[in-house]
Amino acid sequence: MPTTYVLRALSGTIVTVTAPPFVATPYSLAILADTPQAYYRCNEFSGPIAYDSTSNHYDAALVGSIAYSQPGALFGDSDTSLLFGATDSLNVPYTLNYTTFTAFSLEFWINAGSGWHYIVVTCDGPNTLTYYDGALHPILMKLPFTIMCSHLPRSSGTTPLAQG
């Protein structure tokens, strides 16, 4: 059953939001056991918010004409997914202050039309590695998004982690 929250903004405006129920699955429990800063299941069924499943509550903004309740990536997992168009986005909140990180990893499932693939991008400043379905990928594949690592210490400039 979804949970409804009534929030009062600093301006005094009252906003009611409904979060989808969090149902623990073996996959979600494995992810949460790693104590991530944020974990977005992307199983929302409507609305402008992608809910963080951690206790940190770094809820993200969903922007654009996103298609909700799409088939998910994991066999046997009833969780759904979101379909993002070319200009749609998931924007993490400023309170998830990634500028203080000395390293990070970004893990996600993506279906670009040829089936689901598991992508991991790690960045520790001078080194960026991309894994595609568990194997180190020496050449960045053409993905429909760009991830920048400019806030981490570098010898010079910025390097896109993935660019399409």
Q: What is the pLDDT of residues 1-46, one digit of tens each?
A: 455 555 555 556 665 655 555 566 788 888 888 889 999 999 899 9
Section 43-63 average pLDDT = 92
Tokens found for residue 106: 């970004």
**What does the DSSP assignment read for 61-125?**
EEESSPEEEE--SSTT----EEE--TT-EEE--TTS-GGG-S-EEEEEEEESSS-EEEEEEEE-S
% of the chain exceeding 90 in pLDDT = 20
Is the per-residue pLDDT at 148 higher than 50?
Answer: no
Q: Is 10 left (phi over 0), alpha (psi -120 to 50) or beta?
A: alpha
Instruction: Supply the pLDDT for residue 119.
Output: 86
**Exposed e or buried b for every residue in 22-49, given b needs 16+ CB within 10 A?**
eeeeeebeebeeeebebbbbbbbeeeeb
For position 59, what pLDDT does the model report? 94
Give the model's confidence band at 153: pLDDT under 50 very low, under 70 low, under 90 confident, else very high.
very low
From residue 26, give the alpha-carbon distance in Å to each of 30, 42, 63, 65: 6, 17, 29, 31
Predicted TM-score of the model (pTM):
0.67
Mean pLDDT over 134-157 rounds to: 50
Q: Which amino acid is at 96?
A: L
Query: How does pLDDT run across 92-113, given as a tens digit for each residue?
Result: 888 888 778 888 888 888 887 8
Above 50 in pLDDT, residue 124? yes
Q: How confident is the model at residue 159 (pLDDT cuts 50, 70, 90)?
A: very low
